[in-house]
Amino acid sequence: MFSKVKSLFLVSLLICAVILIGVVPLAQANPPKEIKIGVVMPLSGALASTGKDLRGGYELAEDIINSKYPGLDITIAGWEGIPNLGGAKIKLIFMDHRADPARGADLAKRLIKDEKVVALLGCYNSSVTKTVSTVAERYGVPMLNPNSSSPALTMRGLNWFWRTSPHDGSFTVDLFDFLKGLTEGKVRGVGKVPKEELNTLAVAAENTEYGSAAKELIEEIAPKYGYQVLESFKYPHQAADLTSEAGRLMASGAKVYLFVPYISDAILYIRTLKSLKAAPNIIWAQDAGFINPDFPKLGKDISGTITRSVFIPKMGEKKPTAAKINEIFKEKTGHDFTGASARSFTGTQTIAHVLNEAGSTDPKALQKTLNEIRIPGKDLVVAWKGIEFGGVRPGEKGQNILATGMIGQWQWKNGENVLEVVYPFDLATADFIYPFPGWK
């Protein structure tokens, strides 16, 4: 009798254990002391300053995850490692892809096969992200992309690729919603602007995956808002001279110039347009070069230009935790978070949450957690509603559906450039300067 009761008791315990396994993720049996994550990014050449900015965001998140920051109201600040993996520290291994897609793919293979990384982060350049994500797919290793904005990246049906950032489709819609708001008198400090002052566009985009995709989106979306693209072209990435391209913009007669540049191109365009005394009503850019820490070094010459972003330091007035983390970043790097470094921080933060919720470094466990995770917006340094992967467009996979963009305007104040929030309209931190003041 006792033996029978004992047997039944043991069976009951086994059933309970099976049920619990289905409900509560078990911690890895032998958790590692260190978790390697590969980061493939530009660290040299024309994008060296961008790479330095990106790396600052990655490394700050790594430090906050591995150490203790009691004054910060975000979950990872109290961890000191990954709690559900025995406090294991994450170790970011950086590799320089030099903006070369083939090199990026080779580095990804090395990180996976030789370094035994459990996940990949990167790659900033959409063209490199495209090849690296293909390698991750082949080896069944999760790749989390914090920065690349080509919309096509999440339309390829990949099972091992996720993007935390908004893509150029949503950023471009923000632009046209902003222009529409200008005509409706919704922009702070500006009355209703006649649409004829805004409805002709000229587009200049660098000729890699990033620029090509953004250019096509502008051409596609503009007519839906009643805007006419008078000129649209691609130019060589890292061009040594942009005089003829600047001349094409001016010759078009367009009232609004739209740029999709990396940093060297952004600086060269401003200098060239100034020398030619161009006078558009709006100069707008798709992030990248226009938010690079080197861009505001141009001084008064950029005052009045606008750019999309996901982080603008002035937003700290409405999000105190973001302001605190930005101050720590500034102490370490000498400059504020940019949209790029803030996204690097958020991507690293996300993979840490995934490791903790999975309680494992097993690729399948990480894949499952990435597909199910939900991180609330209050836990992020950026002004998103949160992080949740899925798709809005038919066939889309792995896109953060809670990510949103902002638009900022560079304004010269007290001897320095300040990026002020001008969109969303309810978050505006200054009156908008309109029209673009030009160069004197």
CATH number belonging to the domain at 34-166+318-400, selected among 3.90.1150.10, 3.40.50.2300, 1.10.760.10, 3.40.50.720: 3.40.50.2300
Q: What is the pLDDT of residue 78?
A: 94
> What residues form DSSP beta bridges with 122?
40
CA distance linking residue 279 with residue 13, whole number of Å: 77
Fold agreement between 34-166+318-400 and 169-314+405-427? yes
* Residue burial 45-82, b: 16+ Cβ < 10 Å; e: rest: eebebbbbbbbbbbbbbbebbbeebeebebbbbebebb
Query: Quick one: angle between helices 339-358 and 48-66, nearest 10?
Result: 40
Q: What is the pLDDT of residue 363?
A: 98
Per-residue pLDDT of the chain (440 residues; tens, 9 = 90+): 434 444 444 444 444 444 444 444 445 667 778 999 999 999 999 899 999 999 999 999 999 999 989 889 999 999 999 999 999 999 999 999 999 999 999 999 999 999 999 999 999 999 999 999 999 999 999 999 999 999 999 999 999 999 999 998 899 999 999 999 999 999 999 999 999 999 999 999 999 889 999 999 999 999 999 999 999 999 998 899 999 999 999 999 999 999 999 999 999 999 999 999 999 999 999 988 998 999 999 999 999 999 999 999 998 888 899 999 999 999 999 999 999 999 999 999 999 999 999 999 999 999 999 999 999 999 999 989 999 999 989 999 999 999 999 999 999 999 999 999 999 999 899 999 999 999 87
Domain ranges for the chain, please list them.
34-166+318-400, 169-314+405-427
CA distance linking residue 405 with residue 308, whole number of Å: 7
Q: What is the pLDDT of residue 17?
A: 44
CA distance linking residue 351 with residue 96, whole number of Å: 20
Q: What is the pLDDT of residue 288?
A: 84
Both tokens assigned to 170: 């949503």
Q: What is the pLDDT of residue 318?
A: 81
CA distance linking residue 237 with residue 101, whole number of Å: 14
Q: Are 327 and 336 in contact (CB under 8 A)?
A: no
Q: Are 308 and 405 in contact (CB under 8 A)?
A: yes
Provide the Cα torsion 270, 272, 274, 276; round to 10°.
-150
Q: What is the pLDDT of residue 27?
A: 52
Q: Are 309 and 408 in contact (CB under 8 A)?
A: yes
Q: Residue 334: left if φ>0, alpha if ψ -120 to 50, beta else—which one?
A: left
Q: What is the pLDDT of residue 22?
A: 45
> What residues form DSSP beta bridges with 95?
40
Query: Quick one: angle between helices 363-372 and 339-358, nearest 10?
Result: 120
CA distance linking residue 129 with residue 97, whole number of Å: 10
Taking residue 113's Cβ as centre, other Cβ atoms within 10 Å add up to 10
CA distance linking residue 304 with residue 432, whole number of Å: 8
CATH number belonging to the domain at 169-314+405-427, selected among 3.10.20.30, 3.40.50.2300, 3.50.50.60, 3.90.550.10: 3.40.50.2300
> What residues form DSSP beta bridges with 410?
419
